[in-house]
Amino acid sequence: MNIGQAAQRSGLSAKMIRYYESIGLLPAAGRSDSGYRQFSAQDLHTLAFIKRSRDLGFSLEEVGKLLTLWQDRGRASADVKALASGHIDALNRKIAELSGLRDTLQELVEHCHGDHRPDCPILKDLESGCCSSHSATNIK
């Protein structure tokens, strides 16, 4: 199938497929006599693997490692588990960071009167360059 068909079936854009090919996540596609990329069922299977990995938030580097492990039938599942566990740890750190940002912004919003007056603790906090969760209480 051509790249448009592969894109439609995989749920990825043709641009992403070309990119994944260019960085080596996807093997170079075969070419038709006229030079168009031709994708096989195995290529689609690999694209589905890449897409699902990316949907789960794995970085391109991690996807490359997962692909290597997936293609190595002699690999230990412990290697896969370690990679996935490391990704969970990174996700948990990011969740904690985002929760902290949300809490800080929530606190700022709660201290903003939201009326016709120009005083705004949100803008004061942004102006100060301060980002600690207690900054809103200092601005009241």
Amino acid at 2: N
Question: Tens of pLDDT along 22-31?
Answer: 999 999 999 9
**What is this structure's pTM?**
0.78
Q: Is the pLDDT of residue 140 over 60?
A: no
Fold adopted by 1-56: Multidrug-efflux Transporter Regulator; Chain: A; Domain 2 (1.10.1660)
Q: Where are the domains of the chain?
A: 1-56
- 1 near 38, Cβ under 8 Å? yes
> Hunting for tokens 């942004």 — which residue is that?
126
Tally of CB atoms within 10 A around 70: 15
Is the Cβ–Cβ distance between 4 and 41 less than 8 Å? no
> 39-86: per-residue pLDDT in tens?
999 999 999 999 999 999 999 999 999 999 999 999 999 999 999 999
Cα distances from 33 to residues 38, 79, 116, in angstroms, run 10, 41, 69
